[in-house]
Amino acid sequence: MEVRCRAPGKIILAGEHAVVHGAAAIAASIDLYTEVRISLHPSGQENELLELDLKDMGLNLSWPCSQLKEVLGDCSADGSVLVSCTSEKLELLSGLVAQKNMPQENVQLNSGLYAFLFLYTSILGYKPGKAVVTSELPMGSGLGSSASFCVALSGALIALSEGFSLKTKEKKDQFSFRKNDLELISKWAFEGEKIIHGKPSGIDNTVSTFGNMIKFKKELKTTNPMMPLNSTTPLKMLITDTRVGRNTKSLVSSVSERVLRHPDTMTSVFNAINSISDELALLVESPAEYKVEVSEKEEKLKELMQMNQGLLQCIGVSHESIETVVRTTMKEKLVSKLTGAGGGGCVLTFVPTLLSAAVTEKVISELEQCGFRCFMVEVGGPGVQVFPC
């Protein structure tokens, strides 16, 4: 049996940092994907292995299934029953990965490997098989690469689990998950994200699973702080990866410290960012049938992004590399804002419908000359998808 599953990355359109302090944030899927292909091997053979091929890294790892069972013990291997990774199990997984003597430059992958082993054995048990992973998403840049991996992996594992059946779509080369299955995939992916990040918000795995856009606010008086948004107009963004690493925890802490020093002022800033998120949510769902309406809608979006970037700058999370992108794109009357934690990472530039290809190419060329990497993406597309092999 073999299946491949892909899941998108994500961007934060509005609300970074302020969301930690009670404001709303808007997140959306992008058409950059992580793909996981899993093939199960016949059981009952000698030297059964669980293999992991990380194509982009050039890493090929394997564990004997008998060793996994000996170390981790018996497990229910039921994908329909969600379980969390205990600290004791995490220690055992750490030992299994440590035996591989990972090169120093790949040590940051360790938590992802723990998540892989946990999700695979929890859903499929100790069945021999091989997982091949490829991704279009840069790691550690705020585009949800780890959630994309966890969602694609969970989707493939759920699709291969016993008693599961996919819903056939009109296209012969594609199946689809049912809503209940998507909710289960998102929950399993969240368990993987907890292994990788400790205390994730749940935004990344939700967007990667369901696609489109969501509005997230901790204080929404519902059992689920995430509200789906239905975008009525296609959006294009130029994503610039500054290649500048950032420390998310440090940036979040610096904002909290600024709140302590200037409580009233920072509350006003967060309220303004909340208003931007609220207005943006209404804007993306508003109809725009004619060119004039589309242009007006895009102009409002640009203004909201510009204001959001200014507010992020004033709370201290911008960076010289981000401001370089803002200045470079501003020459062509384009608007940019950071996405995610800031301090480097990635920057969004809104691409209007009527912008010429020549202008886009010129901007990309100038940004690449600065040492940055650029991706043109469509925003708000489908979430996790599964394909037969």
Catalytic (active-site) positions: 204
Phi and psi angles of residue 259, each rounded to the nearest 5 degrees, phi first: -60, -40
Torsion of CA 111, 247, 266, 21, to 10 degrees: 0
Q: Is 131 helix (H, G, I), strand (E, B) or coil?
A: strand
Residue type, 23: A
Of 329, 317, 340, the C-alpha closest to 370 is: 329
CA angle 136, 246, 133 (to 5 degrees): 25
Which tokens go with 244? 């500048």
Residue type, 326: V
Biggest alpha carbon distance in the chain?
68
Q: Running DSSP on this structure, what letter comes out for residue 123? A: H
Contact by Cβ (8 Å): 53, 159: no
Residue with tokens 């600290």: 87
Rounded to whole angstroms, the Cα distance separating 330 from 334 reads: 5
Contact by Cβ (8 Å): 346, 142: yes
Contact by Cβ (8 Å): 319, 341: no
Per DSSP (E only), the strands in the chain are 2-14, 25-40, 49-54, 59-64, 129-135, 167-168, 175-176, 213-216, 226-229, 235-241, 336-339, 346-351, 373-379, 385-388
Q: Which residues of 305-342 are buried (b: 16+ CB within 10 A; e: fewer)?
A: bbbbbebbbebebbbebbebbbebbeeeebbbbbbbbb
CA angle 63, 64, 66 (to 5 degrees): 135
